[in-house]
Chains A and B, each alone.
Chain A
Amino acid sequence: MAKKPNKDDILSKIRKQGSGTSGGDASAADAAAEKPKAAPAGGPADIMAKIRAQGASGSSSGAAEEKPAAAKKAAPKSPADIMAAIRSQGGGDAGASAAKSADAPVKKAAAAAAPAGDLPPVDEMLRQMKAGKVSGGEAAVAAAPAKPALKVPVRPAKKSAAAGASTRRGFVSWFAAAWVLLTVTSATWVLGLARFMFPNVIVEPPSQFKIGSPSDYPLGTVSTKWTAARGIWVVHTDQYKGKSLIYALASVCTHLGCTPSWLEGEQKFKCPCHGSGFYMTGINFEGPAPRPLERVGLAVAPDGMLEVDKSVKFQEEKGQWEDAKSFVDASLV
């Protein structure tokens, strides 16, 4: 064997040398120990396997420290398995000392196994004991798990009744407090956000404003006076359907929303972004703009001043320029 000696090898060697038992036993232990992927010692499976190996070998040497890897075949996963292992151990004649050394771990294992309900095996063991088939040593093994198995449900129940209840109640209240706090905070945020939408002071100019007397806008002119501040041109022309009208055009290109420039020399609005062009009337004639500039509301206020209402729009292609609110007839003022 060219294997590196691992812990199992060393232990099996020691056992081979130290034990005065038959060769078959040693070789069996050796074969078991040679399995490289031995389950790690410490789990209930190991302990059970240990007990079983001792019982099967019939050795009463009490060498409980060795950790054979025979657990692989059994590989107990559930409390039922563990109990089965204990039961199978009863078939052999384990020494009392082995039982004693295994007593404490078995207690633990039984304690762990207890909630899963292992009464039938215990009953069976008790019945076996009554039948007189087992020795006293074995009875000790069988009785050992029985005691804690009965006690375990009682003791934790007491504890949970005393300490557990107060802990859970405290936990629930803290949890609720955290949730309430979170909800209140979030609600405050949302309310604050909603409040943000209604500022105390709006810095933008009002949508209705007066732009002076109609006589300020002579026929055939485009006034750019209000473009920079209010985004409108005031046009007075008779080129649209032959009537002398004053109206206000929104200075937003109908293609992509840039602000066109009024070119006095060419008598047209020209957009710097994609080259759309509009006549003085606002009708599109060049470039990609698909529709005329939009008019905004214009009316004569009671004091004779022109008043623009930017909150309404009038689109030529929808026939809205016929609306009397979209222009002021210059011949009537």
Chain B
Amino acid sequence: MHHPNLTSSVIFGLGFLYLVQLVMNFFWTIRSLKNDGHCRLPSLFGGAEVPVAMWWGLYTAVLAMLTIAHFTGYSSPDSFLIVLPDWFKGLVDVAVSDPKWFFTETVLVFGAIILLRRQLATDTAGWILLNASTVFLSLSLTDWDFRQIVGKPDNVPIVGMLFIVGFFTWLSFKKANENDSRLEQGLGPLEGEDNEKVLVWPDLVYTELIVMIGLTAFLFFWGVCLEAPLEEPASSVKTPNPSKAPWYFLGLQEMLVYYDPWLAGVVFPSTILGGMMALPYIDFNKKGNGYYTFNERKFAISVFLFGFLPLWVGMIVLGTFLRGPNWNMFGIYEYWDVHKLEALNNVNLSEYFWLYGLGVSMPVPDANGSFMSQVGTIVWRESPGIVLTLGYLFLLPSVMAMTIFRNFAFRMGFFRFMVFANLVLLMAALPAKMVLRWLFNLKYLVAIPEYFINI
């Protein structure tokens, strides 16, 4: 079962990855020399004035040495030293292989994006983040298990997607920062100056043509280099282990771990689509129309990004890279062991209530009784969950209107506010159920398996 972490071809290939980073940072150093000015060394080193580009030059030199090391030292992979230390791998595995830690981390990252937007959405910070991710990727690729997950033809586009999501989030906050500064000074947004307008012909059309050709060429290259992920013929009695949805549905598949199919597969996706369509009618903030800004639309952007980054992209990442055989959680450097044992024992709320809370046996519907008496018994059995669910959906909006969203309720009016509040609550239902599952092993709030209604 032992797989070598490093082989000669892996090391040689990584050399090219470092070469790309070397070239990128060479040009960045030149740019830094022109733009970044000088900084003072710590007094320990003499306190001399040096250009900031010196640090980038040093980093580029390190990359050059790494490149040379990989291009020359691939003959003896067992003694190759540039690998990730085991303690680091173990630390990362612990940090990501538990859904509650992973979700907490994605929420923290989301909070950092919002709170540190002034610091993170700058050119230099963006470049540092990009380099941090590429170096992390390069070093992680020295691990066999990591290569199995990331290098799978299914998953390669998701790695690319992570960079794209990161770039566009960074870009939007960079533009929003510019506008927010201008708005604080009483100037209009940058987009209002019309200085970014170009002619459709020839500027836009030519750009589109070039991008089209470039992308087509890239797709050809991709299609030739990576084999299509074909599997064995389908069989109704054999399910691949793990069995994964297409990558864009992995968020939904993760939702299915916590909710019944009719909720996670029908109600929630429809709510996402319908809710997106309802957004323009819910929004009463007339600012931020046609230009980037964060300060003028703090609530709207934060709520949307929470739904998009931790709940959608985060769940796709979790489903792609961290879910392994038997749908267990695995670290990114962890071997996909089919026999990994995860102790789970999920309990319904009604069982908690009757068996543990009241210490009595659960009401059992009389198998020979009438239909109505059976339904009555079932509803009585599940009454705690039904009360909680109804309270969540019908009582909580009023409480929200009277407390945290008082201003919203006043400006929106009754119907708009109720739509808004229910959309927010349904979005919050996923993390709420996840937390309940993690903390209390709660399976279902309302469990009526007799009629396929489980919440």
Contact = CB atoms under 8 A, between A and B. Distances in A.
B447 interface: yes
B132 to A, nearest CB: 33
A258 interface: yes
Contacts, number: 87
A273 B259 contact: no
Contacts of A244: none
Given A285-B346, A287-B327, A272 B242 contact: yes
Contacts of B256: 255-256, 273-274, 288
A270 B343 CA distance: 12
B300 interface: no
Interface in A258-292: 258-261, 263, 265-266, 270-275, 277, 285-288, 290-291
A77 interface: no
Interface string B327-345: 1100000000011010011
A318 B327 contact: no
Interface in B214-267: 235-243, 253, 256-261, 265
A265 B339 CA distance: 8
Contacts of B341: 266
- Give the one of A254, A265, A286, A287 with max B CB within 10 A: A287
B265 to A, nearest CB: 8
- Give the one of B243, B253, B258, B449 with max A CB within 10 A: B449
A84 to B, nearest CB: 59
B237 A272 contact: no
B326 interface: yes
A275 B240 CA distance: 13
Given A256-B261, A287-B257, A319-B367, A271 B326 contact: yes
Contacts of B236: 231, 259
A227 interface: yes
B339 A287 contact: no
A333 interface: no
A237 interface: no
A318 B326 contact: no
B454 interface: yes
B326 A261 contact: yes
A317 interface: yes
Contact of B261 (A231, A255, A260, A272): A255
Contacts of B325: 272
Task: State the majority secondary structure of interface residues on B.
Answer: loop
A228 interface: yes
Given A272-B240, A290-B447, A277 B344 contact: yes
Nearest to B323: A275
B367 A273 contact: no
Contacts of B261: 255-256
Contacts of A251: 237
Contacts of A286: 344-346
B328 A275 contact: yes
A230 B239 CA distance: 14
A258 B325 CA distance: 14
Contacts of B338: 263
Given A272-B327, A273-B239, A288 B449 contact: no
B208 interface: no
A310 to B, nearest CB: 12
Given A256-B261, A277-B344, A290-B444, A272 B239 contact: yes
Contacts of B454: 290
A271 B450 CA distance: 21
B443 interface: yes
A53 to B, nearest CB: 54
A270 B237 contact: no
B263 to A, nearest CB: 10
A286 B327 CA distance: 12
Contacts of B257: 274-275, 287-288
A172 to B, nearest CB: 53
A182 B237 CA distance: 44
Given A259-B238, A285-B345, A273 B447 contact: no
Interface of A: 227-231, 251, 254-256, 258-261, 263, 265-266, 270-275, 277, 285-288, 290-291, 317-319
21 contacts: A228-B235, A231-B236, A256-B256, A256-B265, A258-B243, A259-B236, A260-B239, A263-B338, A271-B239, A272-B241, A272-B243, A272-B327, A273-B239, A273-B243, A273-B253, A275-B326, A286-B344, A287-B327, A288-B443, A317-B449, A317-B450
Given A272-B243, A272-B325, 16 more contacts: A228-B238, A230-B237, A261-B241, A265-B339, A271-B239, A272-B240, A272-B327, A273-B239, A274-B327, A275-B326, A275-B328, A286-B345, A287-B344, A288-B259, A290-B454, A318-B450
Shortest Cβ-Cβ A-B pairs, 3 listed? A275-B327, A291-B449, A286-B344
